[in-house]
């Protein structure tokens, strides 16, 4: 399979403020093996800090380009524009596969930066996590064991857990896992269920639903993919499910970096002719003595790619319709308390491929007067460095 390189320039604008970024990645049959991002965030809102950011990572196979040994490395450095306070994040993983039904992984992650504070605008925080994972596959059953230790602002937390994956008929699978922590509030349950697509399409959709729960935290992720082009095959389905389980002992600050998901407008819609995503997050936060509020969102995203459509130099148009709900605490001047406020809105995406090399995507959020425009240049290189 030739390696695919994609370079993307993007700009998001809302009420005169903007986020501009440059991103690129390299992708081959092993998924994304090189990725990079430079961003300038001038958007002043509750959920994001105004930062200048540089992020990069790589997946390496240092011994003869062989899958038996894999090294993942990456990091982020940013500076808050309003204060010049720096933030640093780093992750590394070593994966060893001595045989096809057995693998081991050691991971280490670190974050030194700032979060929004309650009494002061920003609060310094230092996080780290080290973990070891082993997996064995016997026929249609897989067992995963995990042990890890992490520090959150000088408080140590030890974790250990197990997960099992059962693969059934018709490409169906289910994962169940539990991680126990020193701090009870960090105990995590993970459930995943779905169906992967065969390498030769059978006309049936593939799907996945993942649920992660711990005290004061709920996360759900669902996907449905169908069409003659359906790339949600066995390695993607199982890898995504077990990755969600393992990530419970890693740092959320590095989640996008670990997945190589740095693009301003995602390329996930290209993995099927029709794609439906569902994402839900709810997290309780303490805004005062004995008072819990909630931060979260719910999103439903539907994409349709017209893969056979062509007109002159234009091809593969895509349309997307998204429904979004956001929940944030706001201070009520009457009750003198923070109350959860929810707002909902629709957004729309349209995209087109130009001369098989350029991809233009636009997302509009009418209710927020928000526009995101991204232009990508894509090319493929085979192992003999012949571009096509």
Token duo for residue 240: 């995504």
Tell me, what's the pLDDT at 287?
72
- For the CA atoms of the chain, what is the radius of gyration? 22
- The residue among 337 and 265 whose pLDDT is bigger is 265
What does pLDDT average to over the chain? 89
Separation of alpha carbons 350 and 319, rounded Å: 5
Ranked by mean pLDDT, the top range of 72-81, 149-158, 296-305 is: 296-305
Question: Does residue 53 lie within any of the structural domains?
Answer: yes
Separation of alpha carbons 190 and 243, rounded Å: 11
* Stretch among 144-153, 193-202, 249-258, 308-317 having the lowest mean pLDDT: 249-258
1 pLDDT higher than 80: no
Separation of alpha carbons 131 and 123, rounded Å: 26
153 pLDDT higher than 70: no
Question: Does residue 387 lie within any of the structural domains?
Answer: no
381 pLDDT higher than 90: no
Separation of alpha carbons 321 and 324, rounded Å: 10
% of the chain beyond a pLDDT of 90? 59
CA 273 to chain centre: 21
> Given pLDDT bands bounded at 50, 70 and 90, which one contains residue 319?
very high
What confidence tens digit (pLDDT) does each residue in 238-288 have? 999 999 999 988 887 778 778 777 888 888 888 899 999 999 999 888 776
Tell me, what's the pLDDT at 47?
52
**Mean pLDDT computed over 326-344:** 81
Question: Does residue 388 lie within any of the structural domains?
Answer: no
- The residue among 133 and 229 whose pLDDT is bigger is 133
Max CA pair span of the chain: 69
232 pLDDT higher than 50: yes
Question: Does residue 352 lie within any of the structural domains?
Answer: yes
Contact between residue 332 and residue 339 where contact means Cβ atoms under 8 Å apart: yes
| Domain, as residue range, for 31 | 3-381
Token duo for residue 210: 């993942």
- Specify the DSSP element, H or E, that contains 243: helix 234-246
Which CATH number characterizes residue 316's domain?
A: 2.40.170
Tell me, what's the pLDDT at 386?
47
> Given pLDDT bands bounded at 50, 70 and 90, which one contains residue 45?
low
Provide the domain count of the chain.
1
Helix (H, G, I), strand (E, B) or coil at 273: strand
Contact between residue 259 and residue 246 where contact means Cβ atoms under 8 Å apart: no
Tell me, what's the pLDDT at 235?
92
End-to-end C-alpha distance for the chain, whole angstroms: 12
The whole-model pTM stands at 0.88
3-state secondary structure 50-105: CEEEEEEEEEECCCCCCCCEEEEEEEEEEEECCCCCEEEEEEEEEEEEEECCEEEE
Token duo for residue 359: 């991809």
Question: Does residue 386 lie within any of the structural domains?
Answer: no
Nearest to 249 by CA among 61, 100, 122, 93: 93
Question: Does residue 51 lie within any of the structural domains?
Answer: yes
Tell me, what's the pLDDT at 265?
86
What confidence tens digit (pLDDT) does each residue in 2-41 have? 788 999 999 998 877 888 999 999 988 878 889 999 999 8
Beta bridge partners of 60: 71
Question: Does residue 13 lie within any of the structural domains?
Answer: yes
What confidence tens digit (pLDDT) does each residue in 173-227 have? 999 999 999 988 889 999 999 999 998 888 899 999 999 999 889 999 999 999 8
Helix (H, G, I), strand (E, B) or coil at 298: strand
């Amino acid at each position: 399979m030739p390696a695919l390189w994609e370079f993307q320039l993007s700009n998001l604008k809302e009420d005169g403020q903007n986020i501009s970024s440059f991103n690129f990645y390299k992708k081959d049959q092993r998924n994304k093996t090189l990725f990079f991002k430079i961003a300038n965030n001038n958007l002043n809102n509750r959920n994001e800090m105004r930062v200048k950011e540089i992020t990069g990572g790589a997946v390496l196979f240092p011994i003869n380009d062989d899958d038996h040994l894999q090294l993942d490395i990456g990091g982020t450095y940013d500076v808050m524009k309003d204060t010049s306070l720096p933030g640093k994040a780093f992750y590394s993983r070593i994966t060893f596969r001595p045989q096809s039904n057995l693998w081991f992984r050691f991971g280490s992650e670190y974050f030194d930066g700032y979060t929004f504070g309650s009494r002061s605008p920003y609060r310094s925080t230092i996080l780290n996590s080290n973990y070891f994972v082993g997996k064995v596959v016997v026929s249609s059953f897989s067992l995963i064991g995990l042990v890890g230790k992490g520090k959150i602002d000088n408080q140590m937390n030890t974790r250990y857990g197990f997960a099992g994956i059962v693969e059934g008929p018709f490409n169906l699978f289910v994962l169940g896992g539990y991680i126990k922590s020193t701090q009870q509030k960090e105990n995590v349950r993970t459930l995943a269920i779905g169906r992967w697509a065969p390498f030769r399409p059978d006309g049936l959709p593939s799907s996945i639903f993942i649920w992660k729960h711990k005290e004061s935290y709920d996360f759900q992720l669902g996907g449905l993919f169908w069409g003659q082009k359906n790339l949600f095959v066995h390695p993607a389905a199982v890898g995504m499910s077990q990755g969600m389980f393992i990530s419970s002992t890693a740092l959320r600050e590095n989640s996008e970096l670990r997945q190589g998901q740095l693009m301003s407008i995602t390329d996930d819609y290209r993995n099927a002719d029709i794609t439906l995503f569902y994402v839900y997050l709810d997290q309780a936060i303490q805004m005062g003595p004995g008072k819990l509020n909630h931060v979260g969102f719910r999103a439903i995203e539907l994409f349709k790619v017209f893969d056979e459509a062509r007109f002159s130099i234009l091809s593969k148009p895509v349309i997307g319709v998204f429904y979004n709900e956001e929940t944030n605490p706001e201070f009520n001047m009457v009750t003198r308390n923070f109350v959860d406020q929810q707002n909902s809105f629709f957004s729309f995406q349209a995209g087109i491929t130009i001369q098989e090399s350029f991809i233009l995507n636009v997302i509009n959020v009418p209710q927020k007067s928000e526009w995101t425009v991204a232009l990508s240049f894509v090319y493929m290189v085979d192992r003999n460095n012949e571009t096509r």
